[in-house]
Amino acid sequence: QVQLAESGGGSVQAGGSLRLSCGVSGYTYNRHCMGWSRQAPGKEREGVAFIYTGGSTTYVADSVKGRFTISQDNGKKTVHLQMNSLKPEDTAMYYCAVTPGCAVVGGRAVYHGSPYWGEGTLVTISS
């Protein structure tokens, strides 16, 4: 059974930092894509960042580029999202996903196959 364990959400003031972590267990693909998406109230889910463990390809959305960094542990079963210079518009539920492949289409993250999703961790940025 695939399980995703997310941690690191919370509340900070604008300009602050948070680090989200996501560990996956029970996933049998050696090469896979892990990433983060977010969904704010009343908005569609937005792909924020992903990393493909097959070649260490990374993607970061334009809306967070230069502020967010995605990385993985050497074992490739845990990814981290370092979020700096946070803004109130970054407030959302952040979800971790794992899937066999991913790509950037039209500047947006696309997950191939049937991704597994975590339950989400809430990030709240106050002005």
Q: What is the pLDDT along the chain (127 residues), one digit of tens a residue?
A: 999 999 999 999 999 999 999 999 998 877 889 999 999 999 999 999 999 886 668 999 999 999 999 998 877 789 999 999 999 999 999 999 999 889 899 989 999 888 999 999 999 999 9
Residues whose CB falls within 8 Å of the CB of residue 45, separated by 6 or more in sequence, listed in order: 37, 38, 39, 95
Residue bearing tokens 């896979």: 32
Q: Tell me the longest C-alpha to C-alpha distance in the chain.
A: 42
Which amino acid is residue 52, in one-letter code?
Y
In the beta sheet, which residues pair with residue 58? 51
Q: How far is CA 29 from CA 8, 72, 86, 127, in A?
A: 25, 16, 33, 41
The closest alpha carbon to 32, from 103, 98, 96, 115, belongs to: 98
- Structure tokens, 20: 């989200």
Are the C-beta atoms of 68 and 58 separated by less than 8 Å? no
